[in-house]
Structure 1
Amino acid sequence: MCGIVGYVGRRDATPVLIQGLKRLEYRGYDSFGIATVGSAIEVYKKAGRISAGEGGVVGLHGCTGIGHTRWATHGEPNDINAHPHTDCRGRIAVVHNGVIENYRELKRHLLERGHIFRSETDTEVIAHLIEEHYDGDLLAAVNATLPLLKGSYAVLAIAKDTQRIVAARDASPLVLGIGDAEVFAASDMTPLLEYTERVIFLEDGDVADITPEHLDFYHGGLKTERPVELINWCVEDTRKGGFPHYMLKEIYEQPQSFYETSRAGIDEAVRRMILEADEITLVACGTSYHTALVFKYLAESLCNIPVRVEMGSEFKYFIPPLHGLVIAVSQSGETADTIAALKMAKARNCPTLAITNMQGSTVTRVADKTLLMRAGPEIGVAATKSYTAQLAALMQIVNLRCEGAFDDVLSHAHLAIGEVLLLDLKEAVALCSKAEHVFFVGRGPFYPVSMEGALKMKEISYVHAEGYAAGELKHGPFALLTAETPVVAICTPGPTYDVMTSNIKEMKARKAPIIALGAAGDTELAEIVDIFIPLPNTHFLVQVLTASVVLQLLAYHTACTLQRDVDKPRNLAKSVTVE
């Protein structure tokens, strides 16, 4: 959940590192730091955002360096706990993404042997362990250290008087960018895009010895090779493009990302895997879990195939019976809980499919097959275009199982998404921005859409929100309804329309103000609610998409009204790479 970056080559490392950390800041932003190899190991680190503290790096020199932007796991966010961390004599510096589970034991033994610790972090033990094994050979010292570590790590290490970075990964992402007599390292591809399109993805257990002249890989102590891959993203994809926030830009990119994902096609091997499945289990976390729940409703009602949806964070500890196809859904492809569940499914000989936005990510290498989303880089912490791109991929599966019955619907869905981007939500935003609590309700696939709407509201506006199946409110939550508690209800034509309007009337009887999303021209619904938001009259599959986008916009504009930091909500990071 932190971001790491490294550089070795012919340029001044400091501006490369700072720019790379800015591109990675969505992975963590409570502190940052860099270390370079100049006349000595030179370190600057600071609590807070990079933009507020980058002026302090001007004194750092050298063409080799490492950097880190932090999402705190061990120790509060402050200058001391910020990475990089150094050994006792300041000869070695490391940055680390992941969690060292046995760090307390390691730290106790290191203290007994006279090591001096400065921070509360788990990462600092890595620097001291490397110090114990270092005799001038950084690669050998790192190799001697790694077997002592339990947990997850992506590590970059540098040492005084050496123009070299040693990189290692296990259960945390790390990718190298290959330039002309220079190599870049980062947690994901975004810092690499303006320098190179050639990348190498490290595998779990890999160690890389990096200098400007050579790049060697080792696995299990033996030298190995890793392929160079070409990436098709460009640096322009990672810029705001005139929008005030990445989140709004990415909301507006959804017509294109949905269209490209839904029209990308499914290769023959994946088609066979999907068509031969007699039941499907999906594993996901957060927003991806909500898209999986939408798929469950659609697949069971339209395709008559049993679907189970499991939370990745629960799966490892409460493993359900597994049969048939297992699909892992992860925007980043690095979600630790989802990857662990996927490995368990493979150990039980289930065919596995990954749905992700990141080519070369861990989940694509663990799963048997991959269905790649075409959303492009998503920088805002709150998932928007990756959510609808996941729905595009999952709706492709539904369409395949239904023998192409929804080809025309999916090919035109992006037009309806574009329409709702123009809706005026000022009244609804004014109501939500004054509330302490907001309920989101729906039925069928609109129930998980409501859960996702509530998640967006709480994570970026900090207004407490809950998503419910509409019929469940009277089983307890009705006690919370007041004239100050808005309810956002999704009520579109279909088999639950009449019962939804009844639910809305029951909520109105408790004086709750109602914001309703319904089909344009539905005068009956408009008359019984306080604020009516018209969705295009389209197929219900498309209304799942348009309702979702409206709820994203509602959360976004509410957060802006409350002057929240939309792209970097407090305590959150984009890619959850630790349990």
Structure 2
Amino acid sequence: MSTQTTQMREEILEIPTAVERLLSRGEPAIAAAAKKAREINPDFLISVARGSSDHACTFLKYASELILRRPMASVGPSVNSIYGVDLDVSGALCISISQSGQSPDIVRMTESLRVGGAMTVAITNNGDSRLANAANTTLPIHAGPELSVAATKTFVTSLVAGLWLIAEIKRDDGLIAAIRALPAHLDDATRCDWSAAADAIDGTSLFTLGRGPSWAISNEAALKFKETCLIHAESYSSAEVLHGPVSIVGQSFPVIAFAAGDAAEESVAQTSDALSEKGARVFTLAKGATKATGLPQVRTGHWLTDPVAAIVSFYGMVESVAVRRGINPDAPRHLNKVTETV
């Protein structure tokens, strides 16, 4: 791992404290939102987000469908901001995520869904933002200032806030206990050494893989390679990569496969080994893989909190890759911290 201190690395190391702060301060808002959600008993959930926040929503989609048994779908913000359509979403629960809470299209779509009959929940790091004012209720993530352009601690605290809300709606005591135990696990995750994977990333292209909730983490990982390392990374479900995408896999092609202690782990292990047999350099979190290289990981006692620890360990690795490539991950080219899309 790198010895050079970047703002991104400092913020990665702050993640356990930020999650602890969320857990200590966020309970009243979570409890109130969960109570209201149970009262409306939504038939389905929808999400509004972009970028890393949308990857958090993909994770929450799986949590909703697997825990609440309610389908959840992402709604394109342009439906309202560009096309001017107001959806009929009576009785739905809408989760909008934005670390800044300022992007006009996210705000307008949330306002439209609220008028259309949804219970709207804003997950944001800015409780006074336009998004917070547009939603029925706001869940501040209490991440503290995040100065690096690449979102790390705001991504993790958004994940935890949304997962906590779903757990409270369900009154899932086991999941709630695992969420409350996260700070110590995430502290351990900051010390996982993924330098073997970092050493294998010497080209301009790679795959990240996952399945179920871990696929959402794979999506976030691929984005971070692009924005902090200038590496073209594509995320695929482990169920899909062996169809068309495998054709570009050559000798020593890097692959990072995310997995949790869930029902999808075996399939990720099998895909990891299958790609290894084709010459790829595969690094996997899936236990049971025999040909791919296993990565150090922290298991958290619950399959839905395992992916949260995984992304923390990944962040430490991807920051080191950026630094060794001579790139400042705090200020990637062409990017701003807040992107306001109409």
Fold shared by both chains (TM-score > 0.5): yes
Deviation at 1:534, TM superposition (A): 3.0
Classify the secondary structure of the residue corresponding to 1:540: coil
Please give the alpha-carbon distance, in whole angstroms, between the structure 1 residues aligned to 2:257 and 2:54.
21
Residue equivalent to 2:68: 303
Q: Does the 8 A contact of 1:515 with 1:533 survive in 2?
A: no
Residue equivalent to 2:195: 426
Write the deviation string for residues 306-335 of structure 1: whole angstroms up to 9, x where unpaired. Answer: 212224356644656523122211100102
Residue 260 (structure 1) aligned to one of 6, 9, 21: 21
Residue equivalent to 1:75: none
Deviation at 1:578, TM superposition (A): 3.4
Deviation at 1:350, TM superposition (A): 2.5
The count of residues paired between Structure 1 and Structure 2 equals 332
Please give the alpha-carbon distance, in whole angstroms, between the structure 2 residues aligned to 1:311 and 1:295.
16
**TM-score normalised by L of structure 1:** 0.55
What is the Cα-based RMSD across aligned positions, in Å?
2.0
Deviation at 1:537, TM superposition (A): 5.5
Residue 497 (structure 1) aligned to one of 227, 249, 265: 265
Q: Taking CA–CA contacts closer than 8 Å with sequence separation of 6 or more, which of the two structures ends up with the larger relative contact order?
A: 2
- Structure having the higher strand fraction is 1
**TM-score normalised by L of structure 2:** 0.91
Q: Does the 8 A contact of 1:325 with 1:351 survive in 2?
A: yes
Q: Does the 8 A contact of 1:336 with 1:576 survive in 2?
A: no
Q: Which has the larger radius of gyration?
A: 1
Write the deviation string for residues 258-277 of structure 1: whole angstroms up to 9, x where unpaired. Answer: 12213421346423332124
Q: Does the 8 A contact of 1:282 with 1:326 survive in 2?
A: yes
Give unmatched runs, 5+ long, in structure 1: 1-241
Residue 549 (structure 1) aligned to one of 307, 312, 335: 312
Please give the alpha-carbon distance, in whole angstroms, between the structure 1 residues aligned to 2:35 and 2:305.
26
Residue equivalent to 2:279: 511
Residue 368 (structure 1) aligned to one of 118, 126, 136: 136
Q: Does the 8 A contact of 2:63 with 2:213 survive in 1?
A: yes
Please give the alpha-carbon distance, in whole angstroms, between the structure 2 residues aligned to 1:271 and 1:315.
27
Residue equivalent to 1:443: 211
Classify the secondary structure of the residue corresponding to 2:242: helix
The residue identity in structure 1 corresponding to 2:27 is G
Write the deviation string for residues 22-66 of structure 1: whole angstroms up to 9, x where unpaired. Answer: xxxxxxxxxxxxxxxxxxxxxxxxxxxxxxxxxxxxxxxxxxxxx
Residue equivalent to 2:299: 536
Residue 89 (structure 2) aligned to one of 322, 345, 368: 322
Q: Does the 8 A contact of 1:517 with 1:535 survive in 2?
A: no
Q: Does the 8 A contact of 1:281 with 1:325 survive in 2?
A: yes
Distance 1:565 1:499, change over 3 A: same
Give unmatched runs, 5+ long, in structure 2: none
Q: Does the 8 A contact of 1:312 with 1:337 survive in 2?
A: yes
Kindly, what percent of the aligned residue pairs are identical? 24
Please give the alpha-carbon distance, in whole angstroms, between the structure 2 residues aligned to 1:248 and 1:315.
37
Deviation at 1:243, TM superposition (A): 7.6
Please give the alpha-carbon distance, in whole angstroms, between the structure 2 residues aligned to 1:311 and 1:471.
25
Please give the alpha-carbon distance, in whole angstroms, between the structure 2 residues aligned to 1:243 and 1:372.
31
Please give the alpha-carbon distance, in whole angstroms, between the structure 2 residues aligned to 1:529 and 1:478.
16
The residue identity in structure 1 corresponding to 2:28 is I
Deviation at 1:492, TM superposition (A): 3.2
Residue 335 (structure 1) aligned to one of 78, 103, 109: 103
Residue 77 (structure 2) aligned to one of 296, 300, 312: 312
Residue equivalent to 1:244: 5
Distance 1:531 1:409, change over 3 A: closer
Residue equivalent to 1:462: 230
Deviation at 1:343, TM superposition (A): 2.0
